[in-house]
Amino acid sequence: MNLQDRKPTRRNFLSHWTRWTAGAAALFSGTHAPGSYAAPGFTKHQINEKDPGTLRVAACQILAYSDVAKSTTKILHWIERAAKDNVDVISFPEACLCGYAGGNYWKTARPEDFMRGEQQVIAASKQYNIAVILGTVHWEGDKIYNDQLVIDKGGKVRGRYSKTFLAEGWPVPGKALPVYPVAKVPSCFIICHDVRYPELVRLPAIAGAQICYFSSHESGLTRDDKLSAYQAMPIARATENSIFCVMSNAPTDRKTFRGSHGNSKIIHPDGNVLIEAGFFEERLVTATIRVKDATRGIARRTVNEETILKSWIKKGADLVTVYD
């Protein structure tokens, strides 16, 4: 039967109409992307923020600048705002310290500028007792790595994750899959194009990761042919592993249409989007999550059940380094 020929019941019709009108209102106001207006089952995820075993996480959706000092000042402002909202962990977009600069920028970029910016962010983490996942870069000799700097509460640097699968020409690929404790929760990390490679989340989830922090600066609204995939992939990475995903992406600049497409979001292990930003807004996307909901059930099945993939996936999981 053609879908156009189906006759929905009154209950289904009203349900779909309510969801569509709410989404349309959000879309035309410029605050939300199509599909972000409804999260089936959202009510069941409402929890008491004071319950033990909860974590308040935030994806910070902002535009940054090629001027590292200017970007650092903006990042510090948003860290302070998150701290006032009792956020435990705040995550920033890809290469946020330099506004995901490209082209000739890297011919004159100075490592000391990035080191200075990182030290200021570390100091803010210590001051406000907030964990920070910072989009940055680092140099090893003449090689540049596109990083997430993982700073735990109290300004304790856990380490870095360097982007594995590159979509730009200036960095070199990272060679490690770490799981770091962030606010006492085992966590893994991916950057932008990495999201297209499920193993980068599956293997750390097998090793114990309950949250994936996904920092991105994807193509913008002018590449509308990619938006459907951008919506689907982070949801898939959460659902196929039974873990949370916190996606921090840059928004679109309303005046120039530069930047990315926004839609920063927090995704429950069952695949429901708990909260999501729109295309253009700069904001904190914040939710209090119940950590035990991240059972890692589907990821663990791949190594616990006698399937044709078991030995292969177990060898892959040995590539992950778990830090205390």
Q: Is residue 2 part of a domain?
A: no
Residue 299 domain-assigned (yes or no):
yes
Give the pLDDT score at 49.
Answer: 66
Angstrom distance (rounded) from CA 277 to CA 31: 7
CA distance 60 to 98: 15
User: 195 and 237 in contact (C-beta within 8 Å)?
Assistant: yes
Residue 19 lies in a domain: no
Q: What is the pLDDT of residue 48?
A: 67
Q: How many angstroms separate the Cα of 196 from the Cα of each of 193, 200, 324?
A: 6, 9, 28
β-pair partners for 188: 212
- Model confidence pLDDT, tens digit, residues 245-270: 999 999 999 999 999 999 999 999 99
What CATH number does residue 259 fall under?
Answer: 3.60.110.10
Q: Which domain holds residue 285?
A: 51-322
Q: Is residue 203 one of the residues assigned to a domain?
A: yes
Counting the structural domains of the chain, the total is: 1
Tally of CB atoms within 10 A around 324: 6
The pLDDT of residue 103:
87
Q: Which residues of the chain have pLDDT under 70?
A: 1-44, 46, 48-50
3-state secondary structure at position 20: helix
41 lies in some domain: no
Q: Is residue 213 in some structural domain?
A: yes
Q: What is the pLDDT of residue 29?
A: 38
pLDDT in tens, 14-34: 343 334 334 433 443 344 444
Whether residue 3 lies inside any domain: the answer is no
- 100 in a structural domain: yes
